[in-house]
Structure 1
Amino acid sequence: MNRTTLSLIAGASALAAVTAVASLTAPGAAGTDTARAAARLPVERTSVACPAPSSSDLAETSYASFTPVTAGVTGEGKAELRAAARKSAKTGEDAGAEGGTGPAGKAVLKPGEPGTPTAGDASGAESPALTGTAEGKYAPGWTVQQTTEVTAGTGRGLQGVACTVPDTEFWFPAASTEAGRTDYLHLTNPDDSAAVVDIELYGAEGELESQVGQGMTVPPHSTEPILLSTLTAEKQPNLTVHVTVRGGRVGAAVQALDAKLGGDWLTAAADPAGSLVLPGIPADATAVRLVAFSPGDTDADLKVRLASPSGEITPAGNETLHVKAGMTTAIDLGDVTRGEAGSLVLTPTDEAVPVVAAARVIRGKGSAQESAFVPATRAVDSRASAAGNTAKGTILSLTAPGESAKVEVTASAGSEGGSPVSRTHTLKAGTTQNIEVPVPSGLEGSYALTVERLSGGPVHAARTLTADLDGVPAFTIQTLPDDQGTVSVPETEQDLSVLQE
């Protein structure tokens, strides 16, 4: 912790102010004790940004909001979701946020008490993007899910996304501008000031030439859907999209729509790292494409493994993956899971080089195919939740890529009634399990699932929602990174030495 040396010119007033501030005592400093271990305390404020669900008039969208119960939370708080203004993905003109859910700025969903989810719905192409803030007891672990059913047209199927925490950098491997694909990058600004954003696209031969994506402005409390094919003339089947924010912050997600293969939301991959886990590849996947990108100046060589229920398996013919620096690389793994639960585990063959990765997954055959995406995901260090589950069609996949682990899975009360249920599971090292999902007793409405790591090594998680849409095996996958509902706060004490020159 940096200390600023203060002058005594301000006299007694400054002294009173400074002595009211606790400062961390440096370890091993003369005349002091070694700093004590940091405590973990609940966060006091959380923000989310949800993209506009769909430009289809046939879209039916359900929303779900949930805050898990967190030990140590005291006092009250508040939380709400409000509609954001947006430009039409069809016309580019300001479309507001009407269509049955109210004008921009109007509260559209009031989150419930911790432990109890709330739900809402919207119809049509004008359903708004949402921005939200939770404070006090509503903040730790707050998650919002939107799930959209589109019965026909480009992207037909289920499209689901857990609303994102606003940030300043995002990586999206597995986007595309190839024929038949219509990919939109949605940028949502939850704040009172404009955000300035740069967008870079990387294909198989490196960065694509585009001046359009530099210095784009996203107005306050608004959302911008940006068609990727307007940023470049190149038709690339596999793209990595890099979003950086010069000023402000945004929520970001890619809506990847296919004319034949349905579509889903592609959320940001975990930050570049030498080892990655892509959890929750469906057991009945008929095709899996792995897309990776190395953002540095060094090529990456990765071992490719599938963590199955019985242990790690090497995909035949795809034991390793060479990723050239600054270039997007893709390999087709086919029906790699072969009817069993699975997660892709990428590790360096030798020297660790940071990479980002995501997988496109296809279920079904012929004209009855549907697609979704699994980005590399942070581990559940403590806890993660997924809202918007129903009594049928929910699959929870848990992976312990290194050491064995013990987890507790809790099904919350229902949004309209029901009592929570918890179960404990032990995961063997190097395996993936699709666990039996607990359902609240007396369930009415939708519910949330919460995964808590009790002991052992890292755990990665994903939740899949499935539905049959006129014979199409529709599905959507949301990975469950740690909710970061608590933060480390060092134990502190007064230290008047900050007043010394």
Structure 2
Amino acid sequence: MNRTTYSLAGVVAAFAAVFGIATVLAPAPGSDQPKVSTTAARKPVQRSTLVCPGVTGSDYAATTYTAYTPPGTVTGSGGTAQLQVGQTADGAGNTTSGGGDGKPVAPLTAPGKPVTANAAKTASPLIGTADGAFAPGWTVQETTTVQAGAGHGLLGTSCGTPGADFWIPGASTASGRQDYVQLTNPDSTAAVADIELYDANGAVNAPGGEGITIPGDSSVPVLLSTLTGENSSDLTVHVEARTGRVGAAVQAMDSSAGGDWLDPSATPATSAVLPGIPADASDVRLVAYATGSDDANLKVQLLTPTGAITPAGHETLDLKSGMTTAVDLGALTKGQAGSLRLTPTDPSQAAPFVAALKVVRGKNGNDETAFIPATAAVGQRATVADDRSGATTLSLAATDSAATVRVTSSAGSGGGTPATKTVTIQPGTTVSLTPPAPQGGKGTFAVTVEPLSGGPVYASRELAVAQDSLPAFTIQTMPDDGGTVAVPTAGEDLTILQR
């Protein structure tokens, strides 16, 4: 009883002391004393994690990894950036060693200098971290050349950041397609994830997609056709982690039209931009899915080099909630590179959705395929590695406001000095350009895009390398590279004790 009495007395005394101090130190109401700022400042990240999916289902593949960190984000040196070979698992907990000799893959020696490594035949998953001066904007490009068979051509992906929720429209279980969802766990403990499929009729019965276990430091390739007996030409894949975190991407392999990596769409939103449809695209197919409980009614625009136009016969797009919608847009660009913009027809009734484009170049049996998912804006800076002289095209799109950006190319082991170019994009247009090659450099290089003024910019990079008569190509979108994060400014504000 006495202990309780003394405790309460102590609490009362403590509060009295605090409020007494607050009364003395707190600024009087209406005084001129400045308030504590709560503005968020952007600070460089201190650690980055990336996962590169393994390549499955081809005996004629060779893969290249190019790693890069832009310079100048962090003052000083220190830190590392490297990838390690992971294991491949079967979903039932059984793992197979990814091989390798235990040495890191494509370790960086300094910011501003790309490093390239090669992997022959089927590539294992890679899991990596960067810290210190190497963490801000660390980017790894995985590029695979498939010489023959399903998925022939060029497959490319920017190794992804692990998370818990991914939407990937544009997959398929149609005859002639082999689509693998690659689930990669970067952590030492097991993760569990679900794969849900949605076609034109709604949710697809796929019980095999429930509760997939991904062992630590491993990747599980899941062939979509093993999850369902239905042949669906257009699917939206939803990957959701129950425990842990994973990286997710779809390796799409077509027996006649090549293939590419199909990366996740940007976070569901009420509008979207899909930048960088090639000028010589022979066929473009839009696949979209309304993720919420409401339908999404969208206005369709093509942002051309001279302005925004409405594609004839495709002025609007109606997305029914829970159902995948696909529209064949044909040879949409007609000789001029462009970007697709989707906005609500009625902003007061906007609904979130995800979207992706399937893009085909070539014809008469020499067809190659790439994908362009909806992407976030460049933000502070965007980075893409494995660029090559004469093979790289950069696409920049602006929506409602003009924008000016700086494009910088940085050389790798071939040497050379960085080259820069300033580009202005008018509202409602797409600018397609060849990035400046590093002066005196040879081999591959890395490209960064940094907004200087104006409104948001959306970007993508096309890498096109002819493979005999095949127009092999791949397209990677360029959202913010995550080099900085917003950190709120904190400080004492004893006025809260008076409220």
* Structure 1 length-normalised TM: 0.90
Matched, 1:109 2:106: yes
**Any idea what the Cα deviations from partners look like across 1:202-232, whole Å, max 9, x if unmatched?**
0001001121111111000000110001111
Query: Match of 1:352?
Result: 350
Distance 1:208 1:356 in 2: 18
Of all paired residues, the percent bearing the same amino acid is: 51
Matched, 1:405 2:403: yes
Distance 1:254 1:248 in 2: 20
Distance 2:175 2:63 in 1: 27
One-letter code of the match for 2:70?
A: P
Secondary structure at the counterpart of residue 416 of structure 2: strand
Matches within 5 A, 1:262-273: 262-273=258-269
**Any idea what the Cα deviations from partners look like across 1:81-140, whole Å, max 9, x if unmatched?**
000000379x99643112xx436xx42221231111000101112x21100000010000
Distance 1:375 1:171 in 2: 10
One-letter code of the match for 2:84?
A: R
Matched, 1:491 2:489: yes
Secondary structure at the counterpart of residue 225 of structure 2: helix
2:194 to 177, 181, 198: 198
**Structure with greater helix percent:** 2
Distance 1:245 1:300 in 2: 26
Unaligned runs of 5+ in 1: 1-6, 11-24
**Any idea what the Cα deviations from partners look like across 1:255-305, whole Å, max 9, x if unmatched?**
000000000000000011111000011110000000000011111110111
CA contact (8 A) 1:414 1:440 kept: no
1:194 to 1:426, Cα distance in 2 relative to 1, 3 A: same
Distance 1:414 1:420 in 2: 10
Matches within 5 A, 1:94-493: 94-98=95-99, 101-102=100-101, 106-125=103-122, 127-350=123-346, 351-493=349-491
Secondary structure at the counterpart of residue 177 of structure 1: coil
Distance 2:481 2:285 in 1: 28
1:499 to 1:56, Cα distance in 2 relative to 1, 3 A: farther
1:53 Cα offset (Å): 2.8
**Any idea what the Cα deviations from partners look like across 1:237-267, whole Å, max 9, x if unmatched?**
0000001111110111000000000000000
CA contact (8 A) 1:43 1:487 kept: yes
Secondary structure at the counterpart of residue 482 of structure 2: coil
CA contact (8 A) 1:84 1:221 kept: yes
2:54 to 48, 52, 55: 52
Whose Rg is larger? 2
CA contact (8 A) 1:70 1:140 kept: no
1:277 to 1:8, Cα distance in 2 relative to 1, 3 A: farther
1:189 to 1:316, Cα distance in 2 relative to 1, 3 A: same
Query: Match of 2:14?
Result: none
Distance 1:168 1:35 in 2: 33
Distance 2:351 2:306 in 1: 29
CA contact (8 A) 1:184 1:225 kept: yes
CA contact (8 A) 2:460 2:475 kept: yes
Distance 1:297 1:166 in 2: 26
Distance 2:127 2:497 in 1: 43
Query: Match of 1:67?
Result: 69
Query: Match of 2:5?
Result: none
CA contact (8 A) 1:8 1:499 kept: no
Unaligned runs of 5+ in 2: 1-7, 12-25
Distance 2:104 2:466 in 1: 32
One-letter code of the match for 2:385?
A: A
1:391 Cα offset (Å): 1.4
